[in-house]
Amino acid sequence: MIANRWDDEAATKAADAAPDVSAARDLALQVYATRLIGADRALVQYGGGNSSVKLVQKDIFGRDINVLRVKGSGCDLADMDTAHMPALRLERLLELRRLDALSDADMYNTLRGAMLDARAPDPSVETLLHAFLPHRFINHTHATVMLALADLPDAAAAVAEIFGPRMAVVPFFKPGFALGKAAAKVFEANPDVEGLILLNHGHFAFGASARQGYERIIEHTNMVIDWFQKRRGGWPAARCEKRPAPPQQAQELLPLLRGALGDAQAEFSADRDAPMPILDLRTGPNVREFLARSDMVELAGRGVATPDHAIRIKNLPLVLRSPDMAAGKGALTVAISTYVADYTACFQRNRARHERDLQMLAPLPGVIWLDGLGLIGVGRDATAAAIAADMGEENMLAMTLGEDCGGFRPLAEADLFDMEYWALEQAKLGAKPAPKFAGRVVLVTGGGGAIGLASAAAFAARGANVFVVDLQEAALARALEVLGPGHDGLALDITAPGAAARAIGAAVARFGGLDILLSNAGAAWTGEMADLDDQLLRKSFELNFFAHQTFAKAAARVFLAQGHGGQILFNVSKQAVNPGKGFGAYGLPKAATFFLLRQLALELGPKGVRVNGVNADRIRSGLLDDAFIRERAKARGIDEGTYMAGNLIRREVEARHVAEAFVALAEAERTTAHVMTVDGGNIEAALR
């Protein structure tokens, strides 16, 4: 059941913060109610749903005018504020009802012309529905249980059984003018209803106050939950809040699958170097319970629960059966080719009905069902993949509830196609060009340290999804906080047996594969060779050489499974070529890593894998901390600033400069076996 989270104290506080006029208080209360709705994932997901309030506001001449404040297009209900609710002159909107038809372009032109603030965001596509209904407070959701209800074969009978005369049913129309008119007509024939169920679409609830409008959303939704629960004799398994550890089988399968999807993407875009998609695997009990259904394959052909989902996850999932998954990349390629061919055929069947010349979208699946194993969301970055996976899970719930309680009958192909290719829906996804490293997975060892974090942040800023590996839990947590959402990580000792396979496996399980390994972690132990402890030297070799080798080996395995090249970047050191007194224990394994870089470049080059590195020197970090800098400067009789700028260009070299060098190497598409020096200039350490 969904909790009623209305809190009088918080609501009053929100209203009191608004200017002391009743209209502003009502707007503040509706914003508060909207945020409550948006914060509940069972009610609203990803920009779905909207809300409105009708008020009297002053125009520029000080005259009172009736306005509709309605959610702006493209913002999330959970982050709602008054600026996201543009004001429109209500009379202008009501006048439109006299028309028999209105194109989307003419509708938006009129909506924009009716706005009090021309700079405000575009109002919701459902603005006219809000305008044509007389209620002061209106809320709208696409809650999954409401979709299950709205997709029943005899939804009207179920609605009557659950709500009696409290609710009316509106047939399906594409959102916009026609739906607004149809909803108003249904309401006027049933003027006592508290809300409307829009077939194949969602739920509207009305209120005389913000609180009543909110509480009706909760009450109605809970009535539907209760009905399904009783009728089905129990609720399906719940979603997991935390990701369960994926089975080993998934770690083997994901890079092959990502590579095969990448092949299809490259073919569609005619770009061999197009990024492979990010894969978000879900293996919770809800997913496994659904996949165990005997009608699973049949349900895969039914379509998505609401047309709103079709723009992100397409109408149908790709289903991979156990034999396909066990048979290697060839079988996956065949399954994907079949999906692409089916999607292309669907596009050809439906495009003719359209006046606009439609361009086919990438024919890849947005959701993949892995028989007995899990569900995958496919996206151009981790955020898009997570949204697709969430929608995939919600669709499984809608299918289960619907099919077990009368039937899951979403819209037919033609209607869903029209929604997927509707210009206004496509606009929701935005046409921003992808950043340089969007869709690239970068694993950074020592990612909590100065150079590691600066590098992780540099790749993240260019759209990459970063997997941070660090010895320290605290450093990892701090790094992930700096990086923000869309990144992940693991704390472990990279010199422990099996650590590389574990870390790379975790990155694969999280993002579906790997594109760039930034093998960065290192530490220096000092002492002159003549009396250096053997164990200490071995310890240094474990971290400064063997960890580089084991991670490179594990990364190469993933690269080869994907079949789309890959990159390895090593943080070497000037010690590798220019020994410093007392730094033998550090320089020796680094010299071996320097050689490893060239050896790997030679051997992996023909597979499209590039291997490069950076020789940095004198960077403020865990290796060279403030106390150490003070000591070294004092020993040389100079101040710290002069010591840190002790190079040809007389400027301190910072971690961010090293990070930029790693990015530059990653961008240099025809460069391999190269080491870039980032030390401000030091002729003794300069490479030939």
- Residues belonging to the active site: 586
Residue 238, class by beta-carbon neighbours within 10 Å (0-12 exposed, 13-18 middle, 19+ buried)? exposed
* Residue placing its CB nearer to Zn ion in the complex, 86 or 202: 202
Nearer to Zn ion, 180 or 449 (CB): 180
Residue 315 CA, distance from chain mean position: 19
CB of 126 to Zn ion, least distance (A): 6
> The tokens 């590039």 sit on which residue?
610
Q: In this complex, which beta carbon is closest to Zn ion, that of residue 202 or of residue 262?
A: 202
Residue 558 near residue 279 (C-beta atoms within 8 A): no
Write down the least CB distance from residue 125 to Zn ion, Å.
Answer: 8
Output the smallest distance, CB 472 to Zn ion, in A. 47
What DSSP assignment string belongs to 343-384? HHHHHHHHHTT-SS-PPPPP---SEEEETTTEEEEEESSHHH
Strands across the sheet containing 87-89:
87-89, 64-70, 50-58, 137-141, 202-207, 195-198, 167-170
Nearer Cβ to Zn ion (202/439): 202
CA distances from residue 106 to 67, 102, 110, 252 in whole angstroms, order as listed = 20, 6, 6, 52
Nearer to Zn ion, 72 or 202 (CB): 202
Rounded to a whole number of angstroms, the minimum distance from the CB of residue 178 to Zn ion is: 14
617, 626 Cβ separation under 8 angstroms: no
Residue with Cβ nearer Zn ion (127 or 612) = 127
Name residue 615's beta-bridge partners: 677
Interface of this chain with Zn ion, residues 201 to 230, rule: CB under 5 A: 202
| Run of H or E including 221 | helix 210-232
Q: Which is nearer to Zn ion, 74 or 582 (CB)?
A: 74
Residue found by looking up tokens 């723009």 in the block: 311
Across 449-577, the runs of DSSP E, i.e. the strands, are: 465-470, 488-491, 516-519, 566-571
Q: How far is the CB of 141 from Zn ion (least distance, A)?
A: 8
Instruction: Tell me which residues in 185-204 interact with Zn ion (CB under 5 A).
Output: 202
Say how far apart CA 679 and CA 665 lie, in whole Å: 16
Count of residues that interact with Zn ion, criterion CB under 5 A? 1
Q: How far is the CB of 148 from Zn ion (least distance, A)?
A: 16
Which of residues 146 and 569 has its CB atom nearest to Zn ion in the complex? 146
CA torsion through residues 241, 245, 249, 254, sign: positive
Specify the residue, 122 or 404, whose C-beta has the smaller distance to Zn ion. 122
Element (H, E) at 58: strand 50-58
- Helix or strand (DSSP H, E) at 197: strand 195-198
CA 334 – CA 428 distance, rounded (Å)? 32
Q: Least distance from C-beta 229 to Zn ion, angstroms? A: 25
CB of 391 to Zn ion, least distance (A): 15
Nearest distance from residue 81's CB to Zn ion, in Å? 21
- The residue type at 618: R
With 0-12 / 13-18 / 19 or more C-beta atoms within 10 angstroms meaning exposed / middle / buried, residue 161 is: exposed
CA distances from 63 to 58, 80, 85, 319, 351 (A): 5, 28, 21, 60, 49
Residue 247 CB: number of other CB atoms within 10 A? 15
The burial of 337, by beta-carbon neighbours within 10 Å (0-12 exposed, 13-18 middle, 19 or more buried), is given as middle
Q: Which of residues 398 and 556 has its CB atom nearest to Zn ion in the complex? A: 398
Q: How far is the CB of 17 from Zn ion (least distance, A)?
A: 29
The tokens for 247 are 């089975």
169: its two tokens: 């049913």
In the bound state with Zn ion, the residue whose beta carbon lies nearer, of 260 and 313, is: 313
Q: Which helix (H) or strand (E) holds 299?
A: helix 296-300
Q: Scanning residues 93 to 122, which ones bind Zn ion (CB under 5 A)?
A: none
Nearest to 80 by CA among 218, 221, 210: 210
Using CB positions, name the residue nearest to Zn ion: 202
Are 619 and 655 in contact, with CB atoms under 8 Å apart? Answer: yes
The footprint of Zn ion (CB under 5 A) covers 202
